[in-house]
Amino acid sequence: MTFPNPTDDELRALLKGVKTIAVVGLSPKPGRPSHTVARALQGFGYRIIPVRPAVDSVLGEKAYASLAEVPDTIDLVDVFRAAEHIPAVVAECLALNLPAIWIQEGIVHEAAAEKARAAGMTVVMDRCILKDYVALFT
């Protein structure tokens, strides 16, 4: 991968400034990575907003079918969707003028990531937000 992620200092600043994380693809199943990561982030004090169609709530928070339906301010979008869905998620983020996107470990779509960065978003790709949080703050 040639995509340059933010430095550790930039990641630390991003995670310190974030309060609300919309998790696209958050599974209601406790054994799924998205659920485990989101639950841990809640434990670290972040507000999690599930974005997943056909689900009413996850981790005690109301779920929304799309980012556009979320009525609250979103500081960061954390994406647990396959690579082919990343361009659509980026397009929605750009349409909503969201400041940052974190594309989880194992998910790579360089063209979409570059498009988001070129539009002014902070972009992290192919990294686990939980692993980075633990490495940077504990």
pLDDT digits (tens, 9 = 90+) for 116-130: 999 999 999 999 999
Which amino acid makes up residue 107? I
Region 10-27: mean pLDDT is 97
Tens-place pLDDT, residues 129-138 = 999 999 999 8
Please check whether residue 117 is in contact with residue 94, taking contact to mean a CB–CB distance below 8 angstroms.
Answer: no
N-terminal to C-terminal alpha carbon distance within the chain? 28
Angstrom distance (rounded) from CA 104 to CA 21: 13
Q: Which domains does the chain have, with CATH numbers?
A: 8-137 (3.40.50.720)
pLDDT in tens, 75-100: 999 999 999 999 999 999 999 999 99
Which pLDDT does position 88 carry in this prediction? 98
Average pLDDT over residues 37-43: 98
CA distances from 16 to 10, 98, 124, 133 (A): 10, 17, 15, 10
User: Is the per-residue pLDDT at 3 higher than 90?
Assistant: no
pTM over 0.85? The answer is yes
Exposed e or buried b per residue across 18-57, where buried means at least 16 C-beta atoms within 10 angstroms of its C-beta = beebbbbbbbbeeeeebbebbbebeeeebbbbbbbeeeee
Residue 1 has pLDDT above 90, yes or no: no
